[in-house]
């Protein structure tokens, strides 16, 4: 009703080139900031580690090496999967403190099922074991989440209290189920889900296939968006901006593929695989920096052109990426997601618009529980064991990742990709400091400080944007 000038009207000449670029491409500047922070951390760790001990990293250290990045991605997946759900929980103005204990409980229960029940009954390695275990973990997680959600939505107990109780109680339940012992080993197919073993990655061919598919997907999405806007006669993004986004996205997808494909199986593993499958190990040329293996008088040496298997994308990372994709779809393209955000923005308005916010709350916690189920499978498969301490403190990392990723604890604001980047950032800090041999006490101090500083910077940024 008022005649306030719209944001699109100021003369283009008044804008700087950067502002014009950002507006045309519609890039989330916050995400740019996070990626910049991530790069600074990565480069910093690589240089620092290079000072201590030279390595093969881009800056002479040992952080920016395919192997380290590959491991970093695998380490991130557990937290990354759960944080996608935590974003929605926090957007709804709720919190879930119980995910760590729930992860332990689900992992232990799944472990007991496959090690003590299914294994003896069906015979070790029976193909239905891992499927049953995964489905069981998902359902158990969803059921526990649903129970949390019921108490919060219908019994009207604050989520902080319900899930704080869960944090304590589910931890105790995990201990009871496991009878205090570590449950191991996991089924051999189940283990692959955690990135455990050489076959837990999809290899170079399928990795390139996925990378190229991602490029094709990006291009199709851009074309489809453009077609839709033309159909409804909306203003279009400039062609150069579309091309820029397409090329940047494709470079990112192919770059990630190249990195994971540049990490070969450890040579002992490759040798064992060759022996088991009667593969002749080629001669190759001995070279200390070579990544392939050669047999020299029954000794394994590094060489070029010898036997080498590229790992490609590890399964847990693919699961995390798939979860991120699906959750982004749910958050942005479905009614369910739209209602979550609207409820977080103004619960009363959502109620008045006819949204059943109670059922919605319960569904969000159920979804969170199912994601905890997925994470518990990844975590126990990666460790090849289920322990009662598997998820200890991970609720805090999950929340921290979501918050660093731009999720507002006031509700209504947050993105899935931001939270996943937040998880990667936190894991990079942890992993980098481990690489540098930091004492764990210092690691905790740094991670805690980064969390607070990140939120402070975010507040300043939001105020300036406003």
Partner 1 sequence: MAKAKIKFPVKAAKRAAPSRVVKSKPVKVQPVPEPFHASNRGTPLIEMREISIAFGGIKAVDHASIDLYPGEVVGLLGHNGAGKSTLIKVLSGAYKRDAGSIHLNGQEVAINNPRDAKGLGIETIYQTLALADNVDAAANLFLGRELRTPFGTLDDVAMESETRQVMHRLNPNFRRFKEPVMKLSGGQRQSVAIARAIHFNARILIMDEPTAALGPAETAQVGELIKQLKADGIGIFLISHDLHDVFDLADRLTVMKNGKVVGSARTSDVTQDEVLGMIIAGKCPKGAIPGPGALRDQAA
Which residues contact partner 1 (rule: CB under 8 A)? 1-4, 6-9, 228-229, 231-232, 234, 329, 332-335, 338, 341-346, 348-355, 412-413, 466
- DSSP letter at 410? T
Closest CB to partner 1 among residues 6, 278: 6
DSSP 39-103: HHHHHHHHHHHHHHS--SSTTSSSSSSHHHHHHHHHHHHHHHHHHHHHHHHHHTT-----HHHHH
State the minimum distance, in angstroms, from the CB of residue 455 to partner 1.
18
- Helix (H) or strand (E) segment spanning residue 295: strand 292-296
Structure tokens at 127: 């193909």
65 within 8 A of 56, measured Cβ to Cβ? yes
Structure tokens at 118: 């299914």
State the minimum distance, in angstroms, from the CB of residue 96 to partner 1.
20
Closest CB to partner 1 among residues 334, 449: 334
Nearest residue to 87 (alpha-carbon basis) of 436, 327, 372, 376 = 327
Closest CB to partner 1 among residues 56, 356: 356
Closest CB to partner 1 among residues 25, 308: 25
State the minimum distance, in angstroms, from the CB of residue 408 to partner 1.
9
Closest CB to partner 1 among residues 256, 363: 363
State the minimum distance, in angstroms, from the CB of residue 211 to partner 1.
26
Using only C-alpha atoms, what is the Rg of the chain? Answer: 24
User: Buried b vs exposed e over 85-107: b needs ≥16 C-beta within 10 Å?
Assistant: bbbbbbbbbbbbbbbbbbbbbbb
State the minimum distance, in angstroms, from the CB of residue 291 to partner 1.
45
State the minimum distance, in angstroms, from the CB of residue 218 to partner 1.
19
State the minimum distance, in angstroms, from the CB of residue 162 to partner 1.
25
Closest CB to partner 1 among residues 248, 332: 332
Phi-psi region of 125 (alpha: psi -120 to 50; beta: other; left: phi over 0): left
Closest CB to partner 1 among residues 228, 449: 228
Rounded Cα distance between 338 and 343, Å, is: 9
């Amino acid at each position: 009703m008022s005649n306030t000038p719209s944001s699109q009207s100021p003369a283009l000449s008044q804008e700087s080139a950067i502002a014009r670029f950002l507006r045309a491409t519609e890039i989330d500047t916050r995400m740019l900031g996070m990626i910049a922070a991530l790069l600074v951390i990565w480069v910093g760790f690589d240089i620092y580690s290079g000072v201590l001990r030279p390595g093969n990293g881009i800056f002479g250290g040992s952080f920016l090496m395919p192997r380290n990045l590959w491991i970093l991605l695998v380490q991130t997946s557990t937290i990354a999967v759960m944080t996608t759900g935590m974003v929605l929980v926090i957007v709804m103005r709720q919190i879930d403190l119980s995910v760590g204990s729930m992860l332990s409980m689900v992992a232990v229960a799944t472990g007991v099922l496959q090690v003590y029940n299914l294994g003896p009954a069906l015979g070790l390695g029976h193909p239905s074991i891992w499927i049953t275990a995964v489905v069981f973990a998902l359902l158990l997680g969803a059921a526990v989440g649903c129970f949390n959600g019921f108490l919060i939505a219908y019994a009207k107990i604050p989520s902080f209290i319900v899930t704080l109780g869960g944090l304590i109680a589910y931890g105790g339940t995990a201990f009871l189920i496991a009878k205090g012992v570590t449950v191991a080993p996991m089924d051999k197919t189940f283990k692959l889900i955690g990135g455990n073993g050489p076959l837990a990655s999809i290899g170079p061919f399928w990795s390139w296939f996925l990378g190229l598919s991602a490029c094709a997907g990006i291009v199709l999405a851009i074309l489809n968006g453009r077609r839709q806007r033309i159909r409804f006669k909306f203003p279009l993004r400039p062609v150069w901006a579309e091309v820029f986004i397409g090329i940047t996205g494709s470079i990112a997808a192919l770059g990630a593929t190249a990195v994971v494909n540049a990490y070969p199986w450890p040579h002992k593993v490759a040798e064992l695989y060759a022996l088991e499958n009667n593969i002749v190990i080629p001669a190759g040329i001995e070279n200390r920096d070579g990544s392939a293996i050669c047999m020299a008088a029954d000794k394994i040496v590094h060489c070029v052109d010898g036997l080498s298997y590229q790992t490609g994308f590890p399964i847990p990372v693919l699961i995390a990426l798939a979860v991120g994709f699906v959750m982004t779809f749910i958050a942005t393209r479905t009614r369910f997601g739209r209602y979550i955000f609207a409820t977080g923005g103004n619960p009363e308005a959502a109620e008045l618009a006819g949204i059943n916010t109670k059922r919605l709350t319960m569904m969000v916690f159920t979804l969170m529980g199912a994601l905890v189920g997925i994470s518990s499978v990844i975590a126990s498969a990666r460790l090849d064991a289920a322990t009662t301490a598997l998820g200890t403190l991970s609720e805090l990392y999950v929340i921290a990742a979501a918050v660093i990723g731009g999720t507002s604890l006031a509700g209504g604001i947050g993105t899935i990709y931001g939270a996943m980047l937040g998880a990667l950032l936190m894991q990079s800090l942890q992993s980098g400091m481990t690489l540098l041999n930091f004492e764990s006490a210092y690691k905790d101090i740094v991670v805690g400080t980064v969390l607070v500083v990140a939120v402070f910077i975010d507040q300043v940024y939001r105020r300036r944007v406003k």
